[in-house]
Structures are given as structure tokens and as C-alpha cells.
A and B are shown apart, each in its own frame.
Chain A
Amino acid sequence: MSIELITLLLFGSLILLLALGLPLAFVLGGVGVVGSCILWGDKGLYLVTSQAWGAMNKFTLLAIPLFIFMSMILERAGVADDLYTLMHRWMGPLRGGLAIGTVIICTIFAAMAGISGAATVSMGVIALPAMLKRGYSKTIAMGSVSGGGALGILIPPSVPMILYATLTGLSIGGLFAGGVLPGLLLACLFILYIGIRCYFQPEMGPALPPEERVSWREKLISLKAVILPIIIIIMVLGSIYAGICTATEASALGCVGAVVSAAVYRKLKWDLVKEACHRTAALTAMIVWILIGAYCFTAVYTGTGAHTLMEHLMMSIPGGKWAILITMQIIFFILGCMLDPAGIIMICTPVFVPVITSLGFDPLWFGVLFVMNMEMGYLTPPFGFNLFYMKAIAPAGTTMGDIYRSIVPFVILQGVGLIIVILFPQIALWLPKLTLS
């Protein structure tokens, strides 16, 4: 069987089973089991368990429950709601102001977490109910969270960047620096879009009704609501960048910060903590079981020789360095619809990066383009992980259709951002040059 045919069969059965309503974790895991059994027989099946054991041992995944728990406590203690009330008061007349604020908070979150899932689910828990409560449309509310949440892998620290750097021999610090401006660029694009869209369609993100607008004095008083969240953010970011602890450990400090602020709010009751624990458990299990399935599937696909497919594809691309670069981006995009970034790095970088370097492109710039492309992958159906995370936290009655629709404009914006960085490589390269020299 050729790798082209295997690819078609594997991806085809994924899409079919997903469309038939089997949960994503079991689609990925089940196809992984059947695939490994057909390819390697009985001894191949052990791969599935091995991958589950691998997922249980990934230190970077520890951040997922920690971030979610922190957000749960902030939300349940009313800290999150106060934060949004404040935001609404300050940005009262501005349409879409809450969604813009959400993107800004997502950007700050992105600087704390190295993976996308943690930030997306955390922000979903905090921001989604707050925005919906104030009359924001699902499209803007969910789109801003899933788009903003994806920034986690572009703005340092970033686990996929570390993987890419160690695989290609690039400087990790350089790649991190390369992600900062493109990350901010995307955040700005999101903000502009939300602002413009809500300006013309106020019902998408209504401004604060004039009778609820308050005086400057009251605005200043309400600032005290943000003191606690800001202290938590300083605690987490500060502890990472001051060298007190690693990024994962910082999220545990964030949990302590959240519990302390709940106590300050006099909302800290055992019931609140208990409830937060249970919900955190369910959301973490949802994410990690999807990842276990995804690891199984990717391992099978890699084991069948996915890199051979990439080699074949490379040989069939028409000449011209730009044609090759664009084809690679398209391949990333298509794979991004199906696989997780770590799997795509494994399959593609060994084949692509030598080609890129020989064409005279900067591999660091290419790495940034790759991560930007992976951000789109978190949002693109059928297998955009952020879509599924959204589904798990969205209020009852939200269908996958709603979620798919909500991300369309944001994927387009991510694409625009990608094109801008392709056309102006300096956006990615300026900061690394500055820091490395």
C-alpha cells in the first residue's frame, strides 16, 4: 500500500467517524488502534498503551489542570465577573469593548503558558459567560476566546517552538523573540476586526447602555476589582521571568493566588473549591483524552512513513522558491486541520527545513511562519482542538455549527497575519537580531 493511499484511508476514516458523532478522543484512538493492528498486528497494539503512558509523563501538560483550576476559582469567586464589569464601565461607549479586552487578557495569558489548550479553556471559563451575559453574540464571544487562546504557542514561552528549535538546531531564544511581534500583530488584527465589526453591527458586541454609564470617580473606585487579578498575573509572570520557577510551576502559584483572592472576596468556601475541583477534573480529562487519542493516531501515521509522503510532495512541486514556500504553507495548513503541531513538526521539519535553507530563506522566519500556521490549525475544522475545548465550556445549546461559524473570521485574520509576515519577514526577524547581537 502506498503512503498516499494510507493517508487517504486514515484521514478519510477520521472525518467519516467524526461526522457520525463519535467523540473525538475515541475517533483518534480507535483509528489508531485499528491502524496499528492492521500495520503491525498484535505487537503493534502496545503502541496505544505506550502513548497513554507517554501522555501521563509529559511535564508540560501539568499546566492544563492548574490553569483551569485557577480560572474556575476566579470565575466562581466573582473575580472574573467584577473584572468584566470594570472593563464594561471603562470602555462603556466602545462597541465590542469586552471582546477587545478578552483578546488583551488572552495575550497576557499567552505569555504565561507554553501550550494553547490551557489558555483557551481558562479564558473560556472566565470570559465566555461574562460576555454572553452582557449581550455579546456567540460568534464574537467564542471567536475572540478561541482565536486569542491560540496565541499561546506564538507568544513565548512556547512548547512547539522549543520542539522546532531542537529539531532544526535554531536558537530557542531567537525563535521566542521572533514570535513576539507576529503575536502582537495577530492580537492587533483581532482587536481591529472586533472593533470595526461591532461598530457597524452593535448587536454583536453592545456598548454599555448610557443609563448605566458612571462617573470617573466611580470608574476609579471600581478599579479595585482588578487589583487581585493583576497581582496574580504579576505573581505568575514575575515568577517565571525572575527565575523563581518554571512556566509549569508558575501556574501552581497562580492557583494559590486565585484561592487567596477568593478568600479576600470572602467567597472561599469548601463548596466552591469542591465544585472547582470537579469541573477542572472533567475539563482536564476531556483535553488529555483527546491528546492521548491524537498521540496514538499521529504515532501510527508517522510509523507508516508519513515523511515519505512529504518527500514525494517536495519532489513534485514546480520550481521557484516562492512556489515551494507557499506549497509548504498549504501542506502545513492541511495537516493542521488533522494533526497536532508536535506531530506535524515530526513529519515535516526533517524534510522541509533543509529545502528552505538551501533556497536561501531564513529558517528562523520559517519557524515563525510554521507556528503561525499551527495557530490556524487549532481553529480549523474538523480537528481544531480549540473548537472542541470551546464546545466543552460553551453554554448549553451551543452547537458545533455555532462554533465552526464563530472561528471563520479569526482564521481569515490569522491567514492575513501569516501573509503579512511572509511579505515582511522583518516582523519576525527584527527582534531576534536585536536580542542575539
Chain B
Amino acid sequence: MNKFFKTIDAINIYLGKAVSFFLLLLVAVIVYEVFVRYVLNKPTIWAHEVSQMIYGAYVILLGGFLQQRKGHVNVEILTEHFSLRTRAVINCFTWLLFFAFCGVLFWKGCDLAWDSFVYRETDSTVFAPPLYPVKMMIPLGALLMFLQGVIHYIGDLRLAITGKKEEES
């Protein structure tokens, strides 16, 4: 079990770090477009769509990375008065919504990506890039976040049942 957790953690950390460099690519593409459009008066047909795609994959894949860092912000104005165990008990209920959200995003995201793949859907522009690679990032991103949430949830579950916080690994 712990090995499984460590694997998920590692995937989200390394993949997230790798994906975070997409930003440099994004800057490069946009600056290139501005350069060729303004200086050479020859805009590309691809830069706008490519930058949008980089951005799309970037944000959707980073959900798990952020969850690994427990970076999705919340309000603890009420819960800070509760004991850790009470908080864990509450989380065991409220986090079901997290699973509903990620689960649906994964399930319907597979649907969305599959349809797009079957028809080899492309953007309706002159450049016409295929859309399915980016659409496939939706179920992937949802899955990564879901699995990271499972780790978090099991931690809370243990704490709620045993009253003991698991050791930080």
C-alpha cells in the first residue's frame, strides 16, 4: 500500500515539475508570433492554437501536482477550532464531493476524448490541429488528481478511525 502511495506521489511530483516547464514553451511561442507578425508582417497560422493547447494541457495536468502539495486552498476559520481527529472525520464526508468531481471529470472526460479520437476531430481553423491529444489530458489530469486525493483520503480515514496520525513519509 505504502509503495503504491509513494509511486503516485512521485508521478505527480515529477510529471508536475516537467509540465511546469511548458510555461517556457508558451512564452517562446507567443513571443515568436509577435515577432514574425510585427517585425516580418507574416503572422503564423499556428501560434495562437498551439499556445492555447500548451496552456490547456498545462493547467489540467497540474491539478494532481497541486494536490500533492496540498495546495488547493480552503477556509479553516471554523475547523481550526476542532481537533485533528474531528477534522479528519469531517473530511471523510466532505471529500466524497472531491471524488464525485474528479470521478465525473475522468469518466466524462474519457467520453469527450474518445469521441474526438474516433472522428479525428481537428480545430476548425486553417491550421486545423487535431484536438484529441489535448482532450485526452482531461481524463489524465482528473485521474492524477483523483489518485492523489485517494492518498489524502486514506490518511484522514486512518486518523478518524485510529486517532493516530500516520507517519510522514
Give the interface of A toward B (CB within 8 A). Answer: 17-27, 29-34, 45-46, 48-50, 52-53, 55-57, 59, 61-62, 65-66, 69, 239, 244-245, 248-249, 252-253, 255-256, 273, 277-278, 280-282, 284-286, 288-290, 293, 382, 388, 391-392, 399-401, 404
Contact = CB atoms under 8 A, between A and B. Distances in A.
5 closest A-B pairs by beta carbon, nearest first, are: A30-B97, A56-B56, A281-B20, A285-B62, A23-B72
Given A18-B75, A20-B79, A284-B58, A27 B31 contact: no
Nearest to B56: A56
Interface residues of B, number: 58
Nearest to B34: A245
Interface of B: 16-17, 19-21, 23-24, 26-27, 30-31, 33-34, 37-38, 48, 51-52, 55-60, 62-63, 65-66, 69, 71-80, 87, 90-91, 94-95, 97-98, 100-101, 104-105, 107-109, 111-112, 134-135, 138
Contact of A48 (B19, B34, B48, B101): B101
Given A19-B77, A49-B111, A285 B65 contact: yes
A252 B34 contact: yes
Nearest to B95: A22
Nearest to B28: A252
B27 A66 contact: yes
A284 B30 CA distance: 18
Given A24-B73, A62-B51, A45 B90 contact: no
Contacts of A289: 59, 63, 66, 72
Nearest to B100: A33
A31 B26 CA distance: 33
A380 B72 CA distance: 19
A13 to B, nearest CB: 9
Given A29-B97, A69-B23, A249-B33, 19 more contacts: A19-B77, A20-B94, A24-B74, A31-B97, A32-B101, A46-B108, A48-B108, A49-B138, A52-B60, A56-B52, A252-B27, A252-B31, A277-B23, A281-B65, A282-B71, A285-B65, A388-B73, A399-B80, A400-B77
B77 A30 contact: no
A32 B69 CA distance: 24
Contacts of A20: 78-79, 90, 94
A373 B120 CA distance: 45
Contact of A45 (B52, B77, B104, B138): B104
Contact of A286 (B72, B87, B138): B72
